[in-house]
């Protein structure tokens, strides 16, 4: 990696770090892009050369969730259904927030800020097509099969559904209970 790309990555990182620090400190709406630019010692417009929007500053680290999602379906243990594998994956995601306090702070920030909640949801839902594709492939259904797409959509929705609910674990389980039975019938029809 050349010096150029290293410097670019460095400014990008500096911006994301400064943004997160300021957001956690003062709250998202109380920090302007100018503040962030100044904290990272660059001009305001430079921020938008690195990030498409103010919200994108928060969701910098792309912890390739899509790959994990796909792996959860494809590499599930023998005898486990697709909905069950997805349910376990979602519950695991929830559990991650419980031990890492930094991640918990991050989640609390994104949940309490409407703009960030929406943005995060959009990012998360982008994986619908990819998830639907693995499900279809796994079930031997044609690409773009509505039942597979619906399962993908609903499964992804569960994390948004669980938020703000008193018992989020139970909410996820109830949601997947709803999906599991219908899926077993649909899957039987396919193969």
| Contact residue for its own copies among 118, 140, 143, 190 (CB under 8 A) | 118
Are 109 and 21 spatial neighbours (Cβ–Cβ below 8 Å)?
Answer: no
| 124 binds its own copies per the rule CB under 8 A | no
Q: Which is nearer to its own copies, 63 or 166 (CB)?
A: 166
Q: What is the DSSP letter of 166?
A: S
150 counts as binding its own copies under rule CB under 8 A: yes
> Residue 146: which residues within 8 A CB-CB, separation 6 or more?
none
Tokens 């994301």, residue located: 16
> Contact positions toward DNA, by CB under 7 A?
2-5, 7-8, 11, 31-34, 41-46, 48-50, 52-55
Q: Which stretch binds its own copies (CB under 8 A): 3-11, 74-82, 102-110, 139-147?
A: 139-147
If contact means CB under 5 to 8 A according to the sort of partner, which of DNA, its own copies, none does residue 54 touch? DNA
- Taking the C-alpha atoms of residue 29 and residue 183, their distance in angstroms, rounded to an integer, is 42
Q: Does 181 bind its own copies (CB under 8 A)?
A: yes
Q: CA 28, CA 19: separation in Å to the nearest integer?
A: 9
Contact between residue 40 and residue 14 where contact means Cβ atoms under 8 Å apart: yes
Task: Find the shortest distance in angstroms from Cβ 179 to its own copies.
Answer: 6
């Amino acid at each position: 990696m050349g010096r150029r790309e290293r410097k670019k990555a460095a400014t990008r990182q500096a911006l994301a770090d400064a943004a997160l620090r300021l957001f956690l400190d003062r709250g998202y709406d109380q920090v302007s892009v100018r503040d962030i630019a100044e904290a990272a010692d660059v001009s305001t417009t430079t921020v938008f050369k690195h990030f498409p929007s103010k919200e994108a500053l928060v969701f910098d680290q792309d912890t390739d969730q899509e790959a994990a999602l796909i792996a959860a379906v494809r590499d599930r243990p023998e005898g486990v259904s697709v909905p069950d594998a997805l349910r376990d994956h979602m519950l695991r995601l929830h559990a991650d927030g419980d031990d890492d306090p930094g991640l918990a702070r991050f989640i609390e920030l994104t949940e309490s800020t409407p703009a960030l909640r929406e943005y995060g949801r959009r990012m998360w839902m982008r994986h619908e097509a990819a998830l639907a594709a693995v499900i279809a492939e796994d079930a031997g259904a044609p690409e773009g099969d509505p039942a597979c797409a619906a399962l993908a959509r609903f499964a992804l929705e569960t994390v948004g559904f669980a938020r703000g609910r008193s018992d989020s674990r139970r909410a996820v389980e109830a949601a997947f209970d709803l999906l599991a039975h219908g899926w077993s019938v649909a899957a039987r029809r396919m193969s």
